[in-house]
């Protein structure tokens, strides 16, 4: 292997290490290096696989951590969606109550209305 080939592979390895710092998987790294460094995906994939062979324990832990974080993110997104839906429903309920208040105030201009979350009463 010539010096320039070795330097090129070393550069690709360094860029893969940067991708790992950003928690990318092999496919994401291949895409990023293709787009931003004009490195053919087959080169990135080959160097990545060699790194996996040489650092088996690291990549097992790295992949396990990525899966766990991915699962955790999905759970958080689900909780966020549930919370968003609850807030949306509360706003709809509040909007509906505001509409009812306007109707009652328009219908009986002499009375003041006191509202609570559950009921209203005339003062």
CB atoms within 10 A of CB 52: 15
CB atoms within 10 A of CB 47: 21
Q: Tell me: the pLDDT tens digits for 11-69?
A: 999 999 999 999 899 999 999 999 999 999 999 999 999 999 999 999 999 988 876 66
**pLDDT reading at 70 higher than 70:** no
Dihedral angle computed from the Cα positions of residues 106, 108, 109 and 111, in that order, rounded to the nearest 10 degrees:
-130
For residues 85 and 75, the answer to whether their CB atoms sit within 8 Å is: no
pTM attached to this predicted model: 0.55
**pLDDT reading at 81 higher than 70:** yes
The whole-angstrom separation of Cα 65 and Cα 82 is 26
Residue whose token pair is 């509360």:
90
Q: Tell me: the pLDDT tens digits for 85-123?
A: 888 788 888 877 766 665 555 555 555 555 555 544 444
């Amino acid at each position: 292997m010539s010096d320039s080939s070795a330097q090129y592979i070393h550069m690709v390895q360094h860029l893969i290490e940067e991708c790992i710092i950003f928690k990318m998987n092999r496919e994401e790294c291949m895409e990023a290096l293709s787009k931003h460094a004009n490195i053919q995906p087959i080169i990135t994939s080959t160097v990545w696989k060699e790194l996996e062979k040489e650092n088996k324990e690291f990549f097992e832990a790295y992949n396990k951590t990525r899966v766990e974080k991915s699962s955790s993110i999905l759970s958080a997104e689900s909780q966020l969606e549930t919370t968003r839906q609850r807030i949306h429903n509360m706003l709809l309920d509040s909007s509906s109550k505001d509409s009812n208040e306007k109707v009652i105030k328009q219908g009986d201009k002499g009375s003041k209305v006191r509202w609570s979350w559950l009921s209203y009463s005339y003062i």
